[in-house]
Amino acid sequence: MTIDIAGLNQRVGGDKYLLKKILTAYCEDMPKKLSSLKQALDDGGAETIIMRADNIAGASVNVMARQIAKASSDLMEAVKLGDIEKAYVMLARMETGYKRLLKILDDPFEL
């Protein structure tokens, strides 16, 4: 599941306008955050990678974007274990989850 729309809708008290506003703000920030995380992976600084992935995980949990939050957590764990190859796989999953979320936002029947 890319995002728990029902759960987020409940969290915002059924306010569809607020739900869309929160998701739009999240999606507007995500390309920069993902790019910054990729740059950190390319540069190889474990602390920076973990900090950036944790930021994405926290934001994703807040909007109930579970797939992205899980991939972010898995990425951090991979980095801690020194498995950079797996970290790149998790980054790809995060990017895929983000693209799916954009499609959901574009479909008025999903919200």
Per-residue pLDDT reduced to its tens digit, 65-106? 999 999 999 999 999 999 999 999 999 999 999 999 999 888
Question: CATH number for the domain including 98?
Answer: 1.20.120.160
Residues 6 or more apart in contact with residue 52 via CB below 8 angstroms: 33, 36, 37, 40
* Residue 78 neighbours by CB under 8 Å, 6+ apart: 84, 86, 87, 90
- For residues 37 and 95, is the Cβ–Cβ distance under 8 A? no
Spell out where 1-111 has E strands: none
Residue 111 in domain:
no
Domain count, the chain: 1
**Residue range of the domain that includes 15:** 5-106
- Average pLDDT score over residue span 51-66: 96
Average pLDDT, the chain: 94
Residue 69, in any domain of the structure: yes
pLDDT at 62 over 80: yes
pLDDT at 107: 78
Query: Could you tell me if 74 and 90 are in contact, meaning their C-beta atoms sit under 8 angstroms apart?
Result: yes
Helix (H) or strand (E) segment spanning residue 10: helix 5-11
Does a structural domain hold residue 96? Answer: yes
Q: Are 36 and 52 in contact (CB under 8 A)?
A: yes
